[in-house]
């Protein structure tokens, strides 16, 4: 039984992330983990990067990295390897927060005899993270959705990330820029394929109509720059809009989960 709550920490604790991946708790947040100067350094490089791309007309966003959504395994992994040097360049690896988190996690999991690695297929590897920023100003900056449905994408039937389906889907977020609003909302519901079929969201998991969420318990998490949080993205979640059109919400994110008892893989 998952504890439907966010546990708060003052510093990074890889064991707490493992609790999310094992479904013991909905989420964990490490407050102020990334120093302000580091957030500013990464976001400045992101906004100045020639590698920065734009996505979507309805919900305008900017990103560096690749996302697996609606792609074939091959296309995603090709794009991920092309984008990785651009991302590493912006982050300034290996002395960046993402590297610190990934190595901390690898160490904590290794102590339990579990291997942590990037998801792979045919000699290609998934990206380590996706750097993105939204400016959506509707009811939600990011509509209610869940991250599990995408793990059933038929074009990725050969991709090992599909074995995460049915287990907790760890959504990782490092907040680099945020205005005063932009809270994360999570509803205490974890849809299955029957629900998705009824709503026509089988391989997308997005968007869940607000009527569907009516009356379901929800929690709201304030997020400030420097905060790092992980939660089970199989629960329906959304991001509230910023109140000012000039506020930017920029995060570094990724997904991770167990594919078997001995292996945790990550992708974007
Ligand atoms: Fe999500």
Q: Extract the tokens encoding 170.
A: 């760890």
Tokens of 154: 């038929």
Q: Which domains does the chain have, with CATH numbers?
A: 3-267 (2.60.120.620)
Dihedral of alpha carbons 94, 54, 71, 255, sign: positive
Distance 244 CA to ligand 1 centre (A): 23
Query: Ligand 1 centroid vs 110 CA: distance in angstroms?
Result: 27
- Asked if residue 59 has pLDDT above 70, the reply is no
Residue 240: phi, psi to the nearest 5? Answer: -75, 155
Global confidence as pTM? 0.95
Cα–Cα nearest to 233, from 196, 194, 205, 197 = 205
Q: What is the CA radius of gyration of the chain?
A: 17
Distance between Cα 147 and ligand 1 center (Å) = 5
Question: What is the spatial distance between Cα 211 and Cα 193, in angstroms, rounded to a whole number?
Answer: 18
Task: Tell me which residue of 197, 171, 186, 181 sits closest to 238, measured CA to CA.
Answer: 186
Residue 173 Cα to ligand 1 midpoint, Å, equals: 10
- Rounded to the nearest angstrom, the distance between the alpha carbon of 255 and the centre of ligand 1 is 9
**What is the C-alpha separation between 149 and 205, in angstroms, rounded?**
5
CB atoms within 10 A of CB 184: 22
Question: Phi and psi (nearest 5°) for 227?
Answer: -75, 140
Torsion of CA 88, 91, 246, 175, to 10 degrees: 110
Largest CA distance in the chain: 47
Contact between 229 and 28 (Cβ < 8 Å): yes
CA of 210 to the centre of ligand 1 (A): 16
Q: How far is the CA of 47 from the centre of ligand 1 (A)?
A: 23
Q: Could you give the C-alpha distances from 47 to 53, 61, 62, 67, 90, in angstroms and in order? A: 10, 12, 9, 19, 10
Burial class (CB in 10 A: 0-12, 13-18, 19+), 197: exposed
Greater pLDDT, 199 or 140: 199
What proportion of the chain, given as a percentage, has pLDDT over 70? 97
Residue 58 has pLDDT above 60, yes or no: no
User: For residue range 83-101, what is the model confidence (pLDDT) as tens digits?
Assistant: 999 999 999 999 899 999 9
Cα–Cα distance, 58 to 220 (Å, whole number): 24
pLDDT in tens, 22-57: 999 999 999 999 999 999 999 999 999 999 998 776
The confidence score (pLDDT) of residue 136 equals 64
What is the distance in A from the centroid of ligand 1 to the CA of 234?
A: 8
Q: State in Å: Cα 263 to ligand 1 middle.
A: 22
> From ligand 1's centre to the CA of 146, what distance in Å?
6
């Amino acid at each position: 039984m998952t504890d439907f709550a966010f546990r708060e920490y003052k510093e990074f604790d890889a064991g707490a992330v493992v609790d999310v991946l094992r479904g013991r708790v909905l989420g964990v947040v490490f407050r102020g983990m990334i120093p302000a100067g580091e957030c500013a350094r990464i976001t400045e490089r992101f906004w100045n990067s020639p590698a920065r791309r734009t996505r979507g007309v309805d919900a305008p966003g900017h990103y560096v990295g690749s996302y697996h959504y609606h792609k074939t395994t091959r296309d995603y992994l090709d794009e991920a390897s092309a984008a990785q040097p651009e991302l590493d360049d912006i982050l300034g690896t290996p002395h960046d927060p993402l590297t610190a988190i990934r190595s901390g996690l690898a160490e904590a999991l290794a102590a339990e005899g579990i291997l942590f690695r990037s998801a792979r297929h045919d000699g290609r590897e998934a990206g380590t993270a996706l750097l993105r920023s939204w400016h959506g100003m509707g009811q939600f900056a990011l509509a209610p959705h869940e991250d599990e449905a995408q793990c059933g994408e038929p074009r990725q039937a050969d991709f090992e990330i599909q074995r995460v389906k049915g287990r907790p889907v760890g959504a990782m977020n490092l907040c680099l820029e945020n205005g005063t609003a932009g809270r994360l909302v999570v509803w205490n519901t974890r849809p299955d394929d029957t629900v998705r079929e009824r709503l026509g969201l089988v391989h997308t998991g997005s968007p869940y109509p607000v009527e569907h969420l009516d009356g379901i318990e929800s929690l709201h998490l304030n997020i400030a720059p420097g905060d790092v949080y992980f939660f089970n993205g199989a629960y329906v979640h959304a991001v509230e809009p910023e109140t000012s059109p000039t506020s930017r919400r920029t995060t570094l994110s990724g997904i991770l989960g167990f594919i078997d008892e001995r292996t945790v893989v990550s992708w974007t």
